[in-house]
Amino acid sequence: MPPVLHLRDIHLTFGGKPTLDGAELAVSPGERIALVGRNGSGKSTLLKIAAGVVDPDDGEIFRQPGATIRYLPQEPDLTGHARVSSFVMAGLAPGDDEHRARYLVENLGLTGDEDPATLSGGEARRAALARALAPAPDILLLDEPTNHLDLPAIEWLEAELAGSASAIVLISHDRRFLQNLTAATVWLDRGATRRLERGFAHFEEWRDAEIAAEEERLHKLDRKIASETEWLHKGVTARRKRNMGRLRALHDLRSERRNYDKAQGRVEMAASEAAKSGKRVIEAEHVSKSFGDRTVIRDFSLRILRGDRIGIVGPNGAGKTTLLKLLLGDLEPDEGRIARGTNLEIATLDQRRESLDPKMSLGDALTGGGGDMVAVGGEQRHVIGYMKDFLFDPKQRPTAISALSGGERGRLMLARALARPSNLLVLDEPTNDLDIETLDLLQELLADYGGTILLVSHDRDFLDRCVTATVAFEGDGRWTVYAGGYSDMMRQRAGAAKEAAAEAAARKPDGAGKTKPAQKSRKPAVRKLSYKQKYALETLPDRIAELEGEMQRLEAELADRRLFTQDPERFRAATKRLEAAAAEHAAAESEWLELEMLREEIEGG
């Protein structure tokens, strides 16, 4: 099917550095495309070119005549409109359905009478979404549509887009959102694009294979450089006239090698950990908190022990921040008591990045306003080295924070938070504006962190990967603690709702208006673990540790770059075994976790 929109061989340079270098994007009717890449790779720029907001330096742009394209920017601009309704209606063309515009405004939690100047970031995004979706365009270009939205709004938007006939090009850090909506993936990397004709659910496996193939090519390139260098050195004294063509080829190879070295940067994160806190970190008993007539927290109890990872979820305005402040001691409860453990050292990443002075330079934000050194976990590091750990270019040191992208500000806040020694890490929407690779590394850091974590997030996948328990808002000031992540919470909620419905049905009055007596049931059999399950529960930890040791040995062996050139067969065998060991490790961990949860459920019952 011919594309409705086609960008071909797009080039664009900012400040002497190519942002786009031959990028391509083709969108056919009804296609669902994930546009992925690192922060700063040019994703938003490519989307702006597709929308006609930015002109490229070179390249071809085809838009099918008469096709309608709507673009949602990361930072919507509502200036010039007195009300949200006028902003939304201004996006309609003659003949578009005004009723759909009003339906979208209402379903996104707005009335239309709001003054745009007073909107929060989440409300502005909802208004911009209503404006983009209302005309039912041929192509929707959406740049981080879930930023600042709460979970109910994200799930509503996901369902709305799933039922839309529009083609969609989607930039998002929300894995679950991308997995559920896309059927093709365009990867923007070093200014160029590569396309996978499958959705984001398959992207990371494909990307890793692409990188592995590139690294293998790099090994071959290294061998060729070594061979050519040996020829050059031996030939210097033997020949007066060098083969200058061959010498130039060697220089080209070295140049290509340098470019590869710059290609795949990696965020190096490590949290600075303080001395251990006491075993009991925070204990809340029958806590309530009201503001005026509104009860935000009602009869809430929670015990947090050292090493717990607690996720807090709920719609915007439910009281997540209030709950955090109560737990940390920034607010006092109206009723109940909250006890905090000993030796608590708290590091916080705030949602709005409020502690960043926009006039301050990147370097000063890290050093505290002067000097060249950063205190990281009680040790001094040079600011340039620490900047590189978080993928900042040394030239960015004097850059004002106001000039940084949203993703760069997010990385800066992480760098500041992680430099402080802590045993209690408080993260309020840490995933906003971070690219998926940085989120992977943040997840690894949280997994290795020895302290306790309080995490507020609307990112379903991130919650599933990071937390051991979820505190969820149930309405009317009530909060419930669920074991596991977001998906576990949803399953437990569904089970509770099913039980409540069955109980209500059993008590339903009969035709004579009398309540049916509850049927006598046989005494349930005592649940217990089978011998096989008990044996697995006892032996799996040793097997997991054994696999971890094997994986570490294989990784150390493969880290030796000489292995590929000296023993390719051994390299391939070690790579294959590492993949198999990783799969066995994941399966063993999953089995142990399921059995452990089953044991706790049986003992608790």
CATH number at residue 140: 3.40.50.300
* Residues 252 and 335 occupy one common structural domain: no
* Residues 44 and 151 occupy one common structural domain: yes
The pTM of the full predicted model, rounded to 2 decimals, is: 0.67
Is residue 552 one of the residues assigned to a domain? yes
Neighbours of 199 (CB within 10 A): 18
Is residue 409 one of the residues assigned to a domain? yes
Across the range 201-230, mean pLDDT stands at: 77
Task: Give the tokens for residue 116.
Answer: 């745009």
Q: Which domain holds residue 439?
A: 280-492
* Residues 185 and 304 occupy one common structural domain: no
* Residues 457 and 535 occupy one common structural domain: no
* Residues 24 and 67 occupy one common structural domain: yes
Is residue 86 one of the residues assigned to a domain? yes
Instruction: Kindly tell me if the per-residue pLDDT of 242 is higher than 70.
Output: no
Across the range 463-475, mean pLDDT stands at: 90
pLDDT score at 269 = 61
Residue-wise pLDDT for 76-127, tens only, equals: 889 889 999 999 999 898 888 889 999 999 989 899 999 998 888 788 989 9
* Residues 161 and 232 occupy one common structural domain: no
Please name the residues in contact with 359: beta carbons below 8 A apart, sequence gap of 6 or more. Answer: 400, 401, 402
Torsion of CA 373, 375, 379, 381, to 10 degrees: -30
Report the CATH number that the domain containing residue 599 is assigned in CATH: 1.10.287.380
Q: Report how far residue 67's alpha carbon sits from residue 48's, in angstroms, rounded to the nearest whole number.
A: 17
Q: Report how far residue 589's alpha carbon sits from residue 543's, in angstroms, rounded to the nearest whole number.
A: 9
Instruction: Kindly tell me if the per-residue pLDDT of 528 is higher than 50.
Output: yes
* Residues 192 and 321 occupy one common structural domain: no
Residue 486, helix vs strand vs coil: helix
- Who wins on pLDDT, 541 or 233? 541
pLDDT score at 326 = 94
Instruction: Kindly tell me if the per-residue pLDDT of 239 is higher than 50.
Output: no
Task: Give the tokens for residue 88.
Answer: 């939304």
- Give the angle 45-46-47 at the CA atoms, nearest 5°: 90
Q: Which residues are annotated as a binding site for ATP?
A: 37-44, 314-321
pLDDT score at 228 = 60
* Residues 199 and 315 occupy one common structural domain: no
pLDDT score at 350 = 65
Is residue 268 one of the residues assigned to a domain? no
Q: Which residues are annotated as a binding site?
A: 37-44, 314-321
pLDDT score at 258 = 53
Instruction: Kindly tell me if the per-residue pLDDT of 278 is higher than 60.
Output: yes
Q: What is the DSSP letter of 430?
A: T
The count of domains in the chain is 4
Task: Give the tokens for residue 171.
Answer: 């930039």
Q: Report how far residue 157's alpha carbon sits from residue 149's, in angstroms, rounded to the nearest whole number.
A: 10
Q: Report how far residue 373's alpha carbon sits from residue 331's, in angstroms, rounded to the nearest whole number.
A: 35
Is residue 176 one of the residues assigned to a domain? yes
Q: Report how far residue 245's alpha carbon sits from residue 100's, in angstroms, rounded to the nearest whole number.
A: 67
Neighbours of 325 (CB within 10 A): 14
* Residues 201 and 216 occupy one common structural domain: no
* Residues 22 and 45 occupy one common structural domain: yes
- Give the angle 465-469-472 at the CA atoms, nearest 5°: 105
> Phi/psi of residue 218, each to 5°?
-65, -40
Helix (H) / strand (E) element for 366: namely helix 362-367
Is residue 421 one of the residues assigned to a domain? yes
Residue 220, helix vs strand vs coil: helix
* Residues 60 and 146 occupy one common structural domain: yes
Q: What is the percentage of the chain residues whose pLDDT exceeds 70?
A: 84
Across the range 313-332, mean pLDDT stands at: 91
| Closest CA relative to residue 149, chosen from 168, 131, 127 | 127
Across the range 513-540, mean pLDDT stands at: 63
Which range (54-68, 260-274, 379-393) has the least confidence?
260-274
